[in-house]
């Protein structure tokens, strides 16, 4: 009798150990819980984001053409019509990711809940098939967004993205569109492309596999450093919006000096100056 009791105790201990070692069941995803989410690949979870860090669309200056094109594409998708995946490429700090987040807010302001924004980090690209399998089960339109996307010479995770954008048996779910930002037009550094050409037996074939990734984006939108007038327009727009106009401050002179010390004029540089100005004036910046 004691042997049976001891065996039952041992079996219970083994069961408890196995239960602790077993992978956790995937978290249930409620795409109606928020308008924005962050994908966590390690446990297959979409984390709701209560407040997205973004600026208003009207404060983005010098990118009107890009704004019009991307807004039209995103609106068509949100309404259930065909639309293209988009690659926003160009100089740092020129408003690429800000535009994506601002358009999402603009569309949802006009039609609440029309579009879910889902951010996937660059290092989690290999988990894209798992994420798409989750999103495929929902009817909600989802804008999948990857910021600062690029690939190194020995990085083959781009193959996961290629399959998602065009290939694969299932293809991209109809309720999902993919937007990415990158500093590189072809998502890989020019020296890597040249190295592939110089060392390959069949140069065109060696380069084509990686370069063709960008071809799978139906929209290519280029962003470039702004001129001085546009830079001042951005500064003045921010200053007016946040009540930072002060007669004792020469806004243009300070903004110009700020850009010179950083060696660039861009929306990011303008925002950094505005943060500094607001701090010196003792005023809070409310983006909501």
Same domain assignment for residues 233 and 159: no
Q: pLDDT of 143-167, one tens digit each?
A: 999 998 877 766 667 777 776 676 5
Residue 206 has pLDDT above 50, yes or no: no
Residue 96: exposure state from Cβ atoms within 10 A (0-12, 13-18, ≥19)? buried
Radius of gyration of the chain measured on its C-alpha atoms:
24
Task: Assess if residue 42 is contained within a domain.
Answer: yes
Q: What total of structural domains would you count in the chain? A: 2
Higher pLDDT, 80 or 23: 80
Q: What is the mean pLDDT of residues 268-279?
A: 95
Please state the pTM of the whole predicted model: 0.81
Distance CA 120, CA 99 (A): 17
| Percent of residues, the chain, with pLDDT higher than 90 | 58
How far apart CA 182 and CA 271 sit, in angstroms, is 20
Are residue 52 and residue 152 in the same domain, yes or no?
yes
pLDDT class of 201 with cuts at 50, 70, 90: very low
Q: Domain residues for 178?
A: 36-223
118 located within any domain: yes
Residues 6 or more apart in contact with residue 195 via CB below 8 angstroms: 153
Last residue of a domain, one of 180, 206, 223: 223
pLDDT at 109: 95
Nearest alpha carbon to residue 282 among 244, 241, 238, 236:
244
Q: CATH number, domain at 186?
A: 3.40.50.300
Same structural domain, 174 and 161: yes
Say if 19 falls within a structural domain: no
Q: 236 and 219 in one domain?
A: no
Residue 29 domain flag: no
Examine the domain organization and report whether 150 and 251 are in the same domain. Answer: no
The reply to whether 186 and 47 lie within a common domain is: yes
């Amino acid at each position: 009798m004691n042997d049976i009791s001891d065996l039952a105790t041992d079996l219970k201990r083994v069961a408890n150990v196995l239960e602790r070692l077993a992978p956790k069941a995937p978290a249930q995803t409620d795409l109606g819980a928020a308008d924005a989410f962050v994908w966590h690949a390690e446990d297959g979870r979409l984390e709701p984001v209560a407040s997205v860090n973004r600026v208003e669309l009207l404060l983005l200056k010098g990118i009107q053409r890009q704004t019009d094109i991307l807004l039209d594409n995103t609106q068509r998708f949100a309404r259930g019509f065909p639309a293209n995946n988009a690659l926003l490429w160009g100089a740092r700090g020129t408003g690429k990711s800000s535009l994506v987040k601002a358009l999402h807010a603009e569309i949802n302001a006009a039609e609440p809940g029309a579009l879910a924004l889902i951010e996937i980090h660059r290092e989690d690209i290999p988990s894209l098939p798992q994420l798409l399998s989750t999103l495929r089960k929902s009817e909600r339109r989802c804008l999948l967004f990857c910021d600062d996307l690029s690939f190194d010479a020995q990085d083959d995770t781009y193959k996961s993205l290629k399959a998602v954008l065009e290939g694969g048996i299932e293809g991209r779910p109809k309720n999902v569109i993919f937007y990415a930002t990158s500093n590189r037009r072809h998502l890989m550094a020019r020296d890597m492309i040249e190295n592939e050409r110089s060392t390959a037996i069949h140069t065109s074939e060696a380069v084509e596999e990686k370069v063709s990734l960008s071809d799978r984006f139906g929209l290519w939108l280029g962003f470039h450093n702004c001129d001085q007038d546009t830079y001042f327009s951005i500064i003045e727009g921010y200053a007016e919006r946040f009540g930072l106009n002060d007669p004792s401050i020469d806004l243009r002179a300070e903004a110009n000096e700020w850009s010179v010390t950083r060696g660039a004029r861009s929306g990011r540089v303008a925002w950094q100056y505005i943060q500094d100005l607001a701090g010196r004036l003792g005023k809070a910046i409310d983006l909501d």
